[in-house]
Each structure stands twice: as C-alpha cells, then as structure tokens.
Amino acid sequence: MKKTAQKMASAIIVIAALFFSTRGLAQTPAAAKNQSPDAIRPFHVNVPEKKLIDLKRRILATEWPERETVKDETQGVQLSTIQKLAAYWAKGYNWRKFEAKLNALPQFITNIDGLDIHFIHVRSKHKNALPILITHGWPGSIIEQMKIIGPLTDPTAYGGKAEDAFDVIIPSLPGYGFSGKPTAAGWDPQRIARAWVVLMKRLGYKRFVAQGGDWGNAVTEQMALQAPPELIGIHTNMPATVPSDVAKALQFNEQAPSNLSADEKHAYDQLDFFYKHGLGYANEMANRPQTLYAIQDSPVGLAAWMLDHDATSLSLITRVFNGHPEGLTRDDILDNVTLYWLTGTAVSSARLYWESKLAFFAPKGITIPVAVSAFPDELYQAPRSWTEKAYPKLIHYNKLNKGGHFAAWEQPQVFTEELRAAFKSLR
C-alpha cells in the first residue's frame, strides 16, 4: 500500500507538471499544493515543443501582401524587413537558447490583489545593495532589462564599485509575459503601482528606488505620487515634462510657442512627428484593443505590429535585419516577439492602453527625488528646462548622445552607468 501511495503521489506531481507546462509555466511541484495567496513561488519556463512547431508552421503559412508603394517606411514596416524577420524566425531562431538564459535567473510568481505576478529577483552579493524595482513597457517585456541585471547586481565584475550594487526586481506587467491576465477591468497604472509596493514589501524591502520607461514610467510615477514611505526616489528614461502650452499647441496642431529654446524646439518637433505619424498603434489599443484578433492569430502580424512602435526604433530594427546589428540583434528582437506569442499576450497587453486615462507626457506633480536620463532617439528628448520644472527634487539629469526608446536593451552599459549615477546621492 505504501508503494502504491508513493506511485500515486508521483503520478499527481507529473500530471501537475504537465498541466503547467502546457501553459508554458512549468513550476516547482510545491506550486501545485495549497499555498497562502501571498506565497512567493519559484518559477521555471518550459514551453511545450508543440507550441514551437506550431509557431514555425504559422510563420511559413503567412499570406503576404504586395510590397509598399513607396521606397521608405512611411507606409509602415517594409515587406522586405518583415520577410527577412520571418525567414530567420522560421529557420534560424532558437527559442530554447533564450529560455535557458531566462531560466538561469531567479524567477518567481506571487499573487497580488487576485492576480499572479511574475518577476525576476536577483540579490547582490555585496552588502548594502540598494533595491531597485524596474518596470518595462509596451512592446517591451522583462527582456528589455535582462542585460543590465549583471552590471547592477555585480558591479565589480563590470567596471563598477561594490558601493554601486543593486538588488534587482523586474516584474512582468499584468497581462504581459508570464504574469496573469486580468479577467476584469481596473488594472490601470495606479493599481499596478499599488501592487508593486505590495511586492516590494512582501520581499522584505523597507527602502527602495524604482525605474521605468514607457508604461514603466507611468507606473513608476504613480508610485511616486502615492508616496509610500519605502520609496525614496525614482529614475525615468521617458519623463513626463511637457508644459501645458506646448501640449496644447501639439494637440490642436498650432504653431509652437515662440519662446522655445533650441532644445525645447527639438523636443517639440520630435513630439509633433510622433503625434502625427506614430500614434496609430496607441490609438487603436486605447480605443479598441479587443479588435486586435489578427495579432493574436498571426505571429508575423504580431511582429509587424510590435516593430512599428516609433520611427527611430523601426529604422534600427530594419538595419539589424539588413545585417547591421547596433545595440540589438536579430535574436534580441525575436526573443521579445516570441515571448509575446508563446504567452498569448498580444491582446491582454494592449488593454493597458484602454485602462489608462493618464496623459503620457504631462507633469504629474511628483515631489520625491527624481533622476532623468534623456536619450536622443526617445519619443522626445526631454530638455533640462522642462525637466527641472516638472520635477522640483531633480537629483540627476543627463542628456545622452546615443540610445532610443528601449534604452536599457539597446545601450545597457550606458544605462547601467546612468542608474549608478542617478541614485548615488540616495544611498
């Protein structure tokens, strides 16, 4: 009887593991047992092979349109670019290579406010490491920040000093990656910000900083506005600094204010271009995210939708698939797209645009210490003048000469140096 019971127990564990793996979520056997809702459960990725085979089949079965009628990217992602991406995706790309890299990092899941939240948590070996919570955006993921984990947690191995060390926590936004998908409305940046504070407290941190760009900035700024005593400062690479008169001129397609400095006029021109030529994806996801069934069904459709985020990042990615890697590689790009595909998060991630009622670039009145890194190929390079007005407790500002919207992903060394400098005064 004892042997029979042991066999039955083993069978239950195997069945549980198979259940999780069919969802791409192969957790430890303990995760299958009854646990308290706030338990922190180890997490391990193991995508079923049949999902990878199906992905390849779908890529090869793509119905292609005719090529664009112009010689540039003004009509969107060029046919030659997406076909090169698809060819490599189907015949050269290896998800398992990335999966192993991800599984080499400590990953966990915990339930907050009724939703499973996936996160990477790497503690530094150095004493007095400063905990930093880093939030990604769309069409990004935890992949954006993976290159900076080593330099932040182990600075002495990457040209830094022990006193530069961070503990790094990188959660997947609700509806993104391996986090749960909300089944009811209400997961806006404010609610996510509250959940992130719960996460940091649950991990035992009584003092931490936070960082974000894109949606990560929106969430991080909301954390700052909620002002939990544990949060001592934030850093952003996509700050909200645009003055009201500039925002009005952009909204109503008026002439730019006449008193703008050269840096301010440059930022105005960048925003004007983005509002006129780059907001299509955001408008659709903000208004009708559920309509985007096509990108949930077609991997190539999803890839094209994700690539066409902004003109400079699309141009960079086009060069990468033309054989000129710079900051990103073909594998970098496809790791991220494949993560969206395998987790089935094309539509669930888009709903964050529908949920949020925040003005992306309007100052929010943050009163805690703020650090800003202004990258030249961001949607706009925030001028120091606007930044100082938006953040009265500005502790760091640097205008960089290289890097774009996915700065940590594209320029990890520079980004790491920025974070070290940004929070030096708060240690």
> Phi and psi of 339, rounded to 5°?
-60, -45
Please name the amino acid found at residue 249: A
Q: b/e for 19-33, b at 16 or more Cβ within 10 A?
A: ebbeebbbbeeebbe
Catalytic residue among 188, 214, 331, 335: 214
Q: How far apart are CA 346 and CA 300, in angstroms?
A: 12
Helices 189-202 & 215-226 angle (0-180, nearest 10): 70
CB neighbour class for 200 (10 Å; exposed up to 12, middle 13-18, buried from 19): buried
Q: How far apart are CA 14 and CA 274, in angstroms?
A: 51
Q: How far apart are CA 178 and CA 233, in angstroms?
A: 27
> How far is the CA of 66 from the CAs of 4, 60, 69, 70, 302, in angstroms?
63, 17, 9, 12, 18
- The residue whose two tokens read 């000129």 is 324
In the residue annotation, 275 being an active-site residue is answered as no
Q: How far apart are CA 236 and CA 419, in angstroms?
A: 10
Are the CB atoms for 122 and 105 separated by under 8 Å?
A: yes
Joined together, the tokens standing for residue 133 give 């919570």
Q: How far apart are CA 279 and CA 228, in angstroms?
A: 33
Q: How far apart are CA 242 and CA 383, in angstroms?
A: 9
Catalytic residue among 353, 380, 391, 397: 353
In the residue annotation, 405 being an active-site residue is answered as yes
Chain centroid to CA 425: how far? 26
CB atoms within 10 A of CB 140: 27
Are the CB atoms for 338 and 93 separated by under 8 Å?
A: yes
Catalytic residues: 214, 353, 405
